[in-house]
Chain A
Amino acid sequence: MSALVRYELTEIHCAKAPILLPQNEVWHGSSRRDMIRNGQEEVRAALAGQLLRLWRYSLVLAGRRDVAEDLVQATCLRALERAHQYEAGTRLDHWLFAILRSIWQNEIRARRIRQGEGVIDAETALSFDGERLAEMNVLAGQVLKEVRALPEAQREAVFLVYVEGFAYREAAEVLAVPIGTIMSRLAAARTRLAKLQVEHLGAHSSVEVKKQ
């Protein structure tokens, strides 16, 4: 039985603090207010519908379920903090993915490396317990296994484009890289996976197919 029986915060400084309007900020009319309010409302209302995809992306990046959950939580918090920056009616999922990726790349992943935990071991990424894996479709399990063996950059590009259905341009925006980089990473991933496929089929089969 945990010793923890009660938690109480007696003071929250900022919760009661007076709200200060910066002197250099001038609001023109109500349209921008409406836009911001709509954006905030959309973020709050639609966040729940994105949780599972955020978790899956987190798992692809972090490779560990506990870290993935922390990453989703940090993403939701950051999204709520910056909801006023979200433009209502645009792709909320893309906005959230970019936030998640930024937190992973600049904070959590960087911290893990600083603390000597290193980058994710590809062998542990996307792993399941044995029972869960056994319940999965064999082919699906094989695909996950192959993808998890890809280098992180290729794995991420494959996930965004081929799983999440992002256009190259959209994936490039989330990853903050040129479109050409996305193309190269996907080509490299396809080449690696093709090699696995050919090995799987066997040299004889591949030659036969090539002759067709």
Chain B
Amino acid sequence: MTDVDDVLHPEDAELTAFLDGELSAEAHADVLRRLSANPALQRRVFLLSAGNRPFRKAFDALLDDAPKQRLNDMLVGLLNATDPAQSRPLGRGKRKATAAAAAVMLFVAGLAAGHWGPTLAERLTQIVASSDQSDEDWRREVAEYLSFETSDTLSSIPDDPLFRQRSLVNIGDKIGVPLSSETVAIPGLAFKRAQLFDYDDKLMAHMTYLEPEHGPVVLCIVTKGGHEQAPQTEQHGAFNAVYWTKRGRNFMLIGKVPPPRLDGMVAQITEQLDG
């Protein structure tokens, strides 16, 4: 064995702490005592010292390379999207609702302001807007966006039946699909929020649910037209998806729910929307 190899000697961790000034005064003194009488230990200290570098100076150069403007704009968008008045600690419910609002409004602010580079939200909308070229891409990007949803965030959104109904009817009117609390209800899933994205002549309704065991589930409806297409399944990473086209609307239900159950949900939704 040479002095310089990748195999750690028993004392190396302690000697590194010695060099870094991380030992207690007593332990430090003990190492000094041992060093004075142990040439092998002296060599290890020498070698470990040779592993030192001007790390901080080198990495400070990286800071000059940071996308300062984009980062600042991103933060400004986030801060603007979170209403300070709603951040006051009136109670856990209040805080959670505010946090959830921030999460949703992040999406909105990023889209509306175009403040920062190609975020997932922007890529999602860009892909949907250009979905004439690739049907699969927009579904993949929806899946990518979904991967950033967390159960924690969704579970903190309080339920408001009246507002939920009004939101769904409003969005349903815009996309020409009879959305309501009843028609989009899925047994075992808690409805959390509805969003509508408006881009040129296409609209995308984005309804998010929370399934207790498998986390977020999203139902997307896009008004991009296309031929009728029966439900088909596909997988995006850890997410299972079912997509279909009906009456000029593209649908997708996606989540980590197992495929057989997802199929059942799709059957139920299509029946409810047809009814």
Contacts and interface: CB of A to CB of B under 8 A. Distances in A.
Interface of A: 2-22, 25, 27, 32-33, 36-37, 40, 44, 47-48, 51-53, 55-56, 59, 65-66, 69-70, 72-74, 76-77, 80-84, 107, 111, 114-115, 126, 128, 132, 136-137, 139-141, 143-144, 146-147, 158-159, 161-163, 165, 167-168, 180, 183-184, 186-195, 197-198, 206, 209-210
A52 B97 CA distance: 29
Contacts of A168: 17, 20, 22
A48 B75 contact: yes
Contacts of B111: 7, 9
Nearest to A48: B75
Contact of A22 (B12, B68, B93): B93
10 contacts: A11-B196, A12-B104, A16-B163, A25-B91, A74-B148, A76-B75, A159-B59, A161-B20, A191-B48, A194-B49
B99 A21 contact: no
Interface stretch (B115-123, B182-190, B243-251, B267-275): B115-123
Contact of B195 (A11, A126, A139, A143): A11
Given A191-B51, A198-B4, A4 B63 contact: no
A76 B54 CA distance: 30
B58 interface: yes
Given A9-B196, A10-B198, A80-B78, 12 more contacts: A3-B130, A4-B129, A4-B200, A5-B200, A20-B93, A25-B91, A48-B72, A69-B116, A72-B71, A74-B148, A107-B148, A115-B237
B13 interface: yes
B172 to A, nearest CB: 11
B164 A187 contact: no
Given A18-B160, A115-B237, A52 B14 contact: no
Contact of B16 (A47, A136, A186): A186
A174 to B, nearest CB: 16
A146 B116 CA distance: 32
Contacts of A192: 6, 51
Given A168-B20, A191-B12, A193-B50, A13 B116 contact: no
A48 B43 CA distance: 45
B171 A10 contact: yes
Residue from B52, B75, B174 having most chain A Cβ neighbours under 10 A: B75
A139 B57 CA distance: 10
B8 A194 contact: no
A189 B7 CA distance: 11
A183 B16 contact: yes
Contacts of A107: 147-148
Contacts of A141: 58
Contacts of B70: 69
Contact of B79 (A44, A128, A132): A44
B65 interface: yes
Interface in B59-98: 59, 61-63, 65-68, 70-72, 74-75, 78-79, 82, 84, 87-95, 97
Q: Secondary structure of the B side of the interface?
A: helix
Contacts of B91: 19, 21-22, 25, 27
Interface string B217-238: 0000000000000000000011
Contact of B89 (A33, A140, A195): A33
A137 B61 contact: yes
A6 B199 contact: yes
A14 B22 contact: no
A191 B19 CA distance: 13
A197 B196 contact: no
B258 interface: no
A6 B101 contact: no
B82 A80 contact: yes
A14 B157 contact: yes
Contacts of A22: 91-93
A130 to B, nearest CB: 13
Contacts of A7: 108, 111-112, 125, 197-199
Contact of A13 (B65, B118, B192): B192
B265 interface: no
A33 B90 CA distance: 8
Contacts of A126: 62
- From B4, B108, B117, B118, residue with most partner A Cβ within 10 Å: B4
Contacts of A44: 79, 82, 84, 87
